[in-house]
Amino acid sequence: MRTNPVKRALAAGKAVFGSEISRLRSPEIARLYAAAGFDFIFIDMEHSAFGLETVGDIIAMARISGIVPIVRVPQAEYAFVARVLDQGAQGIIVPRVNDAQTVRAIVSWMRYPPEGIRGFADTAPQTDHQRVRVDDFIKANNCETLCIIQIERRQALENLDEMLAVPGVDVACLGCMDLSIDLGVPGQVEHPAMVAAIQHVVDVASRHNVASGIIIGQIDPINRWVRAGMRFASYATESLLLQDAATAAVGRLRSAMSEVK
């Protein structure tokens, strides 16, 4: 069974970096991200039009390419979590997690008995078409699957200590836009209220030996919070990265043309 280098790096106190796939349905994006050197891809099902077939294809290419596929499910429901894991996802991001009861449920959905309630299916996407003993399959999945809860509401900040005391959470990840809106400072990541909230997540996560993380489209906040102890960062999306590169290329081409004239 495949190991999870992202989960192991986080457990060793290292930082990991990835980027989101949420618009372009080509599995080739996973291979490009792997070649670029990202540690993981973050496939979004919350805000994208992706169906399970598309997600499964991207996961398969990620596994072949040696980059860890992580999927954000639409919401905290067993069916979303279990079906994505059956397609070979090595980690799950669950949005809008606000209390310890929900955290306990999420952890149980991701693990087989006796540690959880996940229904058994040793699917080919998980085993890479290899024959695996049932007990080895269960142990590997329970140990190697990454559990990420997203902190996006004031209520989650208030309940964070209790939430991160639940065994099995690997990352407490900031959803900056939603949190800023809930705090009354929409989009203002540098606002004192947001800075205090992010620092609170970093501090509480550290006390519970859980990695803190962030999903954001700007490099500067990532650099700031990684220096402050954050260890999981997802930067931008495939469409934003492509648009930025294309815009920069057009600018250089037009500049070159103007010099010729």
SS3 state of residue 4: coil
What pLDDT is attached to residue 260?
Answer: 66
Is 47 among the catalytic positions?
yes
Cβ atoms of 96 and 75 within 8 Å: the answer is: yes
The pair of three-digit structure tokens given for residue 213, joined into one six-digit string? 């993380």
Write out the chain's pLDDT in tens, 261 residues. Answer: 899 999 999 999 999 999 999 999 999 999 999 999 999 999 999 999 999 999 999 999 999 999 999 999 999 999 999 999 999 999 999 999 999 999 999 999 999 999 999 999 999 999 999 999 999 999 999 999 999 999 999 999 999 999 999 999 999 999 999 999 999 999 999 999 999 999 999 999 999 999 999 999 999 999 999 999 999 999 999 999 999 999 999 999 998 878 765
φ, ψ dihedrals at 133, nearest 5°:
-60, 145
Q: What pLDDT, in 10s, does the model give residues 172-220?
A: 999 999 999 999 999 999 999 999 999 999 999 999 999 999 999 999 9
**What pLDDT score was predicted for residue 8?**
97
> Quick count: other Cβ atoms within 10 Å of Cβ 134?
10
In the chain, how many domains are there? 1
User: Residue 34 corresponds to which tokens in the numbers above?
Assistant: 């792997």
Name the amino acid, one letter, at 145: T
From CA 238, how far away is CA 44, in angstroms rounded?
A: 11
Active-site option among 47, 129, 200, 208: 47
Q: What is the pTM of this model?
A: 0.96
Kind of pairing between the strands at 146-151 and 40-44: unpaired
Instruction: Give yes or no for a contact between 19 and 41, defined as CB atoms under 8 angstroms apart.
Output: yes
CA–CA distance, 47 with 45 (Å, rounded to integer): 6
Amino acid at the residue 200: H
- Please provide residue 208's backbone torsions phi and psi, each rounded to the nearest 5 degrees: -100, 10
pLDDT at 256: 85
36 touches 21 (CB < 8 A): no
CB 174 within 8 Å of CB 213 = yes
Q: Find the CATH number of the domain harbouring 235.
A: 3.20.20.60
Domain that holds residue 60: 5-260
Task: Tell me what pLDDT residue 1 has.
Answer: 83
Cβ atoms of 254 and 36 within 8 Å: the answer is: no
| Placement of tokens 């815009």 in the chain | 247
CA distances from 197 to 14, 85, 155, 183, 193 (A): 23, 31, 12, 9, 6
pLDDT of residue 257: 78
Q: Are 4 and 16 contacting, i.e. CB atoms less than 8 angstroms apart?
A: no
Q: What is the per-residue pLDDT for 173?
A: 98
How far, in Å, are 42, 75, 152, 162 from residue 97 at the CA level?
Answer: 18, 9, 7, 12
Which two structure tokens, joined as six digits, stand for 18? 């990835």
Alpha-helical (H) ranges within the chain are 5-11, 28-36, 52-65, 78-86, 100-109, 124-127, 134-144, 154-158, 160-164, 176-182, 192-207, 219-227, 238-260
